[in-house]
């Protein structure tokens, strides 16, 4: 880590800042806190599709163990079948033999997920866990249950501080201890952190899984969707979702609404103020917010610039060919 590294996060309850090798936490002036369920969906999730009992493996990333716990619950919950947003197929789970399947009744095939394409192996765990958690909060969430009073906030802060400052606790044990006070509160919203949602998917399939993620993010006001991506297609599809969000309030007749829904499902539209695109510059080691034009994400983002650079290099090759 460089000496001039600065990392800052401003949340609803606290602002965390790391600068000059020092970490500080400042309480935000807002009162109340809606406890979220935070799910990190790692890029290695296809491992859960090809291995029957990944929990039996040692030395896997801890994030994969945590994700697989939720995936196991989701598989059992949807064991009788769940329509997937890809290729009009269904997911089914044989709980007795612990086997997941991809089923296409129209084509007459039933395929084990471990033998399916890499796109299904990446997408099925992501989609099942996202739907499972989102549906559970949409049906059961009650903000009043998770709204902390001032007295409860102080008590929780005291418990957390004692755990963090106890140098006798091993790091892995500390993480377990930190979960216990939070577990006393019932989560009321869902923060979905997805690494490479486009993994192994054709562009049209990337759009469908994005629409599904946006739909579940929109299910509850306090839900959040955070994605890390290398796909310029996803950025373009996000632009379409924002544009649809600008139009949806102006649509009055059924036919126009149906036309809009055929491009971007109405449940997946985005408002410009709810979207932030951050670009990471690996050479400079900086993160900056991408600009916009009239609320629409700017075309001049890092991924689109790389596409433009490729076109310019092709033009240069044509110029060399012409000279020859």
Q: In Å, how far are 66, 155, 180, 225, 295 from 246, measured between CA atoms? A: 37, 43, 43, 20, 9
Same domain, 16 and 98: no
pTM of the model: 0.80
Average pLDDT over residues 219-243: 91
Please provide residue 220's backbone torsions phi and psi, each rounded to the nearest 5 degrees.
Answer: -130, 140
- Residue for token digits 């149906």? 258
pLDDT at residue 141, as a whole number: 46
Quote the mean pLDDT of the chain.
Answer: 84
> Best-predicted range by mean pLDDT among 138-147, 187-196, 209-218?
209-218
Same domain, 150 and 17: no
Average pLDDT over residues 38-59: 86
Both tokens of 199, joined, read: 């993994």
pLDDT band, very low/low/confident/very high, at 228 (cuts 50, 70, 90): very high
Same domain, 101 and 167: yes
pLDDT top residue among 73 and 295:
73
Same domain, 190 and 209: yes
pLDDT at residue 181, as a whole number: 61
Judged by average pLDDT, the poorest of 14-28, 33-47, 116-130, 141-155 is 141-155
pLDDT digits (tens, 9 = 90+) for 252-279: 899 999 999 999 999 999 998 899 888 8
pLDDT band, very low/low/confident/very high, at 76 (cuts 50, 70, 90): very high
Return d(Cα 184, Cα 186) in angstroms, integer.
Answer: 7
> Best-predicted range by mean pLDDT among 28-37, 50-59, 198-207, 303-312?
198-207
pLDDT digits (tens, 9 = 90+) for 152-208: 667 777 877 787 778 777 776 666 666 666 555 677 889 999 999 999 999 999 999
Cα diameter, the chain: 79
pLDDT digits (tens, 9 = 90+) for 90-101: 999 998 988 999
Q: Helices (DSSP H) in 80-170: which residue ranges? A: 118-140, 143-146, 150-165
Torsional class of 206: left (φ above 0), alpha (ψ -120 to 50), beta (otherwise): alpha
pLDDT at residue 142, as a whole number: 45
Same domain, 184 and 98: yes
pLDDT band, very low/low/confident/very high, at 2 (cuts 50, 70, 90): confident
pLDDT at residue 138, as a whole number: 65
Same domain, 211 and 88: yes
Same domain, 15 and 99: no
Pairing outcome for strands 109-112 and 99-104: antiparallel
pLDDT band, very low/low/confident/very high, at 71 (cuts 50, 70, 90): very high
pLDDT at residue 193, as a whole number: 96
pLDDT at residue 128, as a whole number: 97
CA atoms within 13 A on the CB side of 76: 8
Query: Exposed, middle or buried: residue 309 (CB in 10 Å: 0-12, 13-18, 19+)?
Result: exposed
Same domain, 87 and 203: yes
Q: Is the dihedral of CA 6, 290, 251, 256 positive or negative?
A: negative
279: Cβ contacts below 8 Å, ≥ 6 apart:
287, 288, 289, 290, 301, 302
Same domain, 254 and 288: yes
Domain with 46, as residue range(s), is 32-323
The total domain count for the chain is 2
Average pLDDT over residues 20-44: 83
- DSSP helix/strand/coil, 91: strand
- DSSP helix/strand/coil, 263: helix
- DSSP helix/strand/coil, 217: helix
Same domain, 130 and 4: no
Same domain, 6 and 76: no
Same domain, 216 and 83: yes
pLDDT digits (tens, 9 = 90+) for 99-120: 999 999 788 889 999 999 999 9
pLDDT at residue 144, as a whole number: 43
| Residue 37 and residue 44 in contact, taking contact as beta carbons nearer than 8 Å | no
């Amino acid at each position: 880590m460089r000496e001039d590294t600065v990392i800052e996060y401003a949340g609803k309850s606290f602002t965390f800042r790391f600068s000059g090798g020092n970490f500080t936490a400042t309480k935000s002036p807002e009162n109340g806190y809606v406890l979220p369920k935070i799910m990190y969906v790692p890029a290695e999730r296809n491992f859960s599709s090809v291995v029957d009992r990944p929990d039996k493996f040692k030395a896997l990333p801890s994030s994969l163990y945590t994700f697989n716990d939720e995936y196991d619950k989701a598989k059992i919950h949807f064991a009788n079948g769940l329509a997937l947003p890809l290729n009009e197929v269904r997911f089914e789970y044989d709980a007795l033999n612990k086997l997941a399947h991809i089923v296409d009744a129209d084509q007459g095939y039933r395929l084990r997920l471990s033998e399916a394409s890499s796109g299904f192996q990446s997408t099925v765990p992501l989609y099942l866990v996202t739907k499972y958690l989102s549906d559970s909060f949409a049906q059961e969430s009650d903000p009043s249950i998770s709204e902390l009073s001032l007295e409860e906030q102080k008590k929780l802060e005291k418990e957390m501080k004692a755990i963090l400052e106890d140098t006798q606790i091993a790091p892995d044990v500390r993480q377990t201890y930190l979960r216990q006070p939070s577990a006393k509160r019932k989560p009321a919203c869902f923060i979905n952190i997805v690494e490479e949602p486009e993994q192994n998917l054709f562009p049209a399939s990337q759009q469908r899984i994005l629409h599904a993620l946006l739909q579940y993010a929109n299910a509850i006001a306090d839900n959040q969707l955070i994605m890390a991506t290398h796909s310029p297609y996803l950025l373009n599809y996000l632009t379409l979702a924002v544009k649809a969000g600008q139009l949806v309030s102006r649509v009055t007749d059924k036919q126009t609404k149906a036309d809009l829904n055929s491009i971007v499902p109405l449940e997946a539209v985005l408002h410009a103020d709810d979207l932030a695109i951050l670009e990471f510059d690996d050479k400079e080691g900086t993160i900056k917010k991408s600009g916009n034009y009239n609320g629409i994400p700017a075309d001049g983002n890092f991924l689109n610039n790389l596409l433009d650079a490729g076109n310019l290099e092709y033009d240069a090759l044509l110029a060399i060919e012409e000279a020859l």
